[in-house]
Amino acid sequence: MDEEKDYLKEVKDIVSKDKREILLLTTKASVNGAVTGLVIGLMFGFYKNKNIYVSGLVGGIIGGVATALIVNKK
Protein backbone atom coordinates (compact mmCIF):
# COMPACT_ATOMS: atom_id res chain seq x y z
CA MET A 1 0.00 0.00 0.00
CA ASP A 2 2.89 2.34 0.73
CA GLU A 3 4.31 1.78 -2.74
CA GLU A 4 1.01 2.85 -4.30
CA LYS A 5 1.03 6.06 -2.29
CA ASP A 6 4.61 6.74 -3.36
CA TYR A 7 3.67 6.32 -7.02
CA LEU A 8 0.64 8.56 -6.62
CA LYS A 9 2.76 11.19 -4.91
CA GLU A 10 5.31 11.07 -7.74
CA VAL A 11 2.59 11.43 -10.37
CA LYS A 12 1.04 14.39 -8.51
CA ASP A 13 4.46 16.05 -8.29
CA ILE A 14 5.04 15.61 -12.02
CA VAL A 15 1.60 17.03 -12.90
CA SER A 16 2.08 19.93 -10.50
CA LYS A 17 5.49 20.69 -12.02
CA ASP A 18 4.00 20.67 -15.54
CA LYS A 19 1.23 23.06 -14.49
CA ARG A 20 3.78 25.41 -12.91
CA GLU A 21 5.89 25.39 -16.07
CA ILE A 22 2.86 26.16 -18.24
CA LEU A 23 1.78 28.97 -15.93
CA LEU A 24 5.31 30.39 -15.90
CA LEU A 25 5.54 30.28 -19.70
CA THR A 26 2.13 31.93 -20.13
CA THR A 27 2.95 34.64 -17.60
CA LYS A 28 6.31 35.44 -19.18
CA ALA A 29 4.78 35.62 -22.63
CA SER A 30 1.92 37.82 -21.44
CA VAL A 31 4.28 40.26 -19.73
CA ASN A 32 6.51 40.41 -22.81
CA GLY A 33 3.48 41.00 -25.03
CA ALA A 34 2.12 43.67 -22.72
CA VAL A 35 5.44 45.53 -22.66
CA THR A 36 5.74 45.32 -26.43
CA GLY A 37 2.16 46.56 -26.83
CA LEU A 38 2.83 49.38 -24.37
CA VAL A 39 5.87 50.57 -26.31
CA ILE A 40 4.05 50.38 -29.64
CA GLY A 41 1.06 52.20 -28.15
CA LEU A 42 3.27 54.95 -26.73
CA MET A 43 5.05 55.38 -30.06
CA PHE A 44 1.74 55.48 -31.91
CA GLY A 45 0.33 58.06 -29.50
CA PHE A 46 3.43 60.21 -29.71
CA TYR A 47 3.68 60.25 -33.50
CA LYS A 48 -0.06 60.72 -34.08
CA ASN A 49 -0.28 63.44 -31.39
CA LYS A 50 -2.78 61.40 -29.37
CA ASN A 51 -2.88 60.97 -25.61
CA ILE A 52 0.20 58.80 -25.00
CA TYR A 53 -1.05 57.47 -21.67
CA VAL A 54 -4.29 56.13 -23.07
CA SER A 55 -2.69 54.76 -26.24
CA GLY A 56 0.04 53.10 -24.14
CA LEU A 57 -2.53 51.54 -21.82
CA VAL A 58 -4.64 50.27 -24.71
CA GLY A 59 -1.55 48.92 -26.47
CA GLY A 60 -0.41 47.13 -23.34
CA ILE A 61 -3.79 45.52 -22.77
CA ILE A 62 -4.11 44.42 -26.38
CA GLY A 63 -0.54 43.09 -26.44
CA GLY A 64 -0.95 41.12 -23.22
CA VAL A 65 -4.29 39.59 -24.15
CA ALA A 66 -3.23 38.72 -27.69
CA THR A 67 -0.04 37.06 -26.51
CA ALA A 68 -1.86 35.10 -23.80
CA LEU A 69 -4.34 33.80 -26.37
CA ILE A 70 -1.59 32.82 -28.78
CA VAL A 71 0.48 31.05 -26.12
CA ASN A 72 -2.56 29.16 -24.75
CA LYS A 73 -3.31 27.73 -28.22
CA LYS A 74 0.10 26.04 -28.43
DSSP annotation of 33 reads: H
Tell me what pLDDT residue 5 has. Answer: 62
Q: For residues 43 and 13, give the distance between their C-alpha atoms in angstroms, rounded to a whole number.
A: 45
Average pLDDT over residues 55-71: 89
pTM for this one? 0.70
Contact 65, 47 (CB under 8 A): no
Average pLDDT over residues 41-61: 92
Q: For residues 55 and 61, give the distance between their C-alpha atoms in angstroms, rounded to a whole number.
A: 10
Confidence class for position 4, pLDDT limits 50, 70, 90: low
Tell me what pLDDT residue 8 has. Answer: 67
